[in-house]
Amino acid sequence: MSVTVGLSIQREANEPAPPSYAVMSVAGLIGPFEKAAATSTEAFAARFPLDTCVRFQSTDATARMIDPDGDMGRAIGLINAQLGRTQTGAQIIVVRTAEGDDDDATIAGIVGNAAARSGIHAFKRGGPDVGAYPRLIHIPGGWASRTQVGVTGYVVTAAGAGYDTVPTASLPVGAGAGTGFAATVTLTAGAVTGLTITDPGEGFMPGTYPLTLTGGTPETPAVVTVTVARMANPIVAALPAVLNAFLGIAYIQAPGISEQGDLDFRELHASERIGIVTPGVLVTNTAGDVVATDQAAIQIGLHIRRDFQADGRPFNPILNQPVTGIVAPTRAIEFSWLDDSVEAQQLLARQIGPLVRGEAGDDFAAAEGGFVSFAFETIGSEPIWSQMHKVRGRDFIELTVIRTFRSYFGRFRLTRQTIETIVDTVEDVLRIAEARGEILGYACRFDPNLNNPSDLRTGHIFIEAKFEEAPVFRKATLLSRPYVQAIDDLIAALSGQAGVLVEG
């Protein structure tokens, strides 16, 4: 009820809201790992339940519960080693998965199940469960680097006739010394009509082979041809859908044994949210021994450092960044700023980021000393999203708009002032990014083509926001040419000087 005589005051926050910035620098690590020696089994199990997000700071008491010499502990150590000035640690979300009876079972545990929110799908619960989503993902232990060569398909070239029982199927000796292949032949009226591959096997030689069919006493033997090929890693295959759910990115290390092996691994995977790096790195453990480990955690640490240097804004690339905390890469990769035939340039041309050694006195080396990361690209197929910092930067702006809009929905009627306020809010986010040099320019408006009376009557509007992220400076072409004008200027200057005799 309103007053009869007097004043009624109503407060309305109808001005553009200040941006609510997204958090982009929380790391997400997943896989099986062991407890530190000083931690009890009960305390470890209570702090790190299986398939559950656990958030902590990378140098706090929770981090010290993890075995520092295990894959997870080394990954955390490599992240810490990349941190910058005044940084004391990084925010990390860990998901512990069960170690299986074999590698396949362990990988299956990391892949997890979307419905059960297990494995990598547990990260989708990061926001509601621990107050943040991990947007920099790494799988320590090399589980995402492993691939197998097995049977990927078949063709029934000739169905045959007269089979009285189902024959058994096996690969010929020429397919190599692989193991595990299993398939069931389908018979229809005594003829082979199909094949159900229950286990593709592993360790075979890539190629096309005639399947060996044993038994069934056929009148006319069937001919079934199978294709043996390298298969994508199950974790990397499942990651894009998970990363898209909360707008994260991941780094995966290629096998790192050879250039060709890295290229073979690269061609099996594609995603604008995944970067591939190579090779592994050598670090020292707590006993002082030198051991090999996965280097992808380094890229996570570099992003955290670069974000921190820019107030948490993820627009800075990590190309040509110094790497600390390692004693050497596991494979020497030759680098040159000018020669595209060297291994590092060949890898870069195929969107693989090499880690290389500096060389004192070598003008063409990556640096005078130390180690340098050349990771900056995704393995996406769209050139516009080929640079990782551009993907992360656009995610940041979109997430910031989402977070800021929460203060508007349902609180105001959709009037002209409300629409102008909403457009101004988006423009404020873009204006700040342009002023900081993170984007080259923008255009923001209430789209007159998409907005229509039907949608406006239901409270739905369209806002067009166009902006271009600043790309990384990666290549320059120097046009080195003679300058004859300098000679002409010299002659003219000498000709005009007193005491200089120019005879014909």
For residues 348 and 353, what is the distance between their CA atoms, to the nearest angstrom?
A: 6
Cα dist. 348→98, 333, 353, 354 in Å? 35, 12, 6, 7
Max CA pair span of the chain: 115
Reply yes or no on whether the pLDDT at 9 is more than 60. yes
pLDDT tens for residues 137-147? 999 999 999 99
Closest by CA to 275, choosing from 179, 378, 415, 206, is 378
Per the CB < 8 A criterion, the answer to whether 205 and 149 are in contact is yes
What is the pLDDT averaged over residues 462-488? 94
pLDDT tens for residues 378-419? 999 988 889 999 999 999 999 999 999 988 888 888 999 989
pLDDT at 480: 94
pLDDT at 256: 85
Closest by CA to 310, choosing from 424, 432, 430, 427, is 432
Three-state SS at 308 = helix
What is the pLDDT averaged over residues 265-286? 96
Tell me what the pLDDT averaged over the chain comes to. Answer: 93
Percent residues over pLDDT 90 in the chain: 87
- Tell me the sheet residues that pair with 228: 151, 207
Reply yes or no on whether the pLDDT at 499 is more than 90. no
Confidence bin at 270 (pLDDT 50/70/90): very high
Q: Is 183 exposed, middle or buried (0-12, 13-18, 19+ CB in 10 A)?
A: buried
Taking CA 108 as the corner, what is the angle to CA 107 and CA 114, rounded to the nearest 5 degrees?
Answer: 125
pLDDT at 3: 79
Can you read off the two tokens belonging to residue 459?
A: 């409270």
DSSP H helical ranges for 443-503: 453-457, 484-495
Three-state SS at 151 = strand
Dihedral of alpha carbons 15, 18, 22, 23, sign: negative
pLDDT tens for residues 335-356? 999 999 999 999 999 999 999 9
Give start-end residues of each CATH 3.40.50 domain in the chain.
27-145+234-385
Of the listed ranges 218-222, 438-442, 495-499, the one predicted with least confidence: 495-499
The domain at 27-145+234-385 falls in which architecture? 3-Layer(aba) Sandwich (3.40)
For residues 334 and 342, what is the distance between their CA atoms, to the nearest angstrom?
A: 6
- Strands in 34-190 per DSSP E: 53-57, 91-96, 136-138, 149-158, 168-170, 182-188
pLDDT at 4: 80
What is the pLDDT averaged over residues 45-68? 97
Reply yes or no on whether the pLDDT at 173 is more than 70. yes
Closest by CA to 18, choosing from 455, 387, 408, is 408
Q: Which H helix or E strand runs over 126?
A: helix 126-130
Q: Decide the pairing of beta strands 136-138 and 249-253.
A: parallel
Please give, one letter per residue, the 3-state secondary structure of 422-452.
HHHHHHHHHHHHHHCCCEEEEEEEECCCCCC
pLDDT at 248: 97
DSSP letter (8 states) at residue 381: S
Cα dist. 97→33, 250, 477 in Å? 8, 18, 49
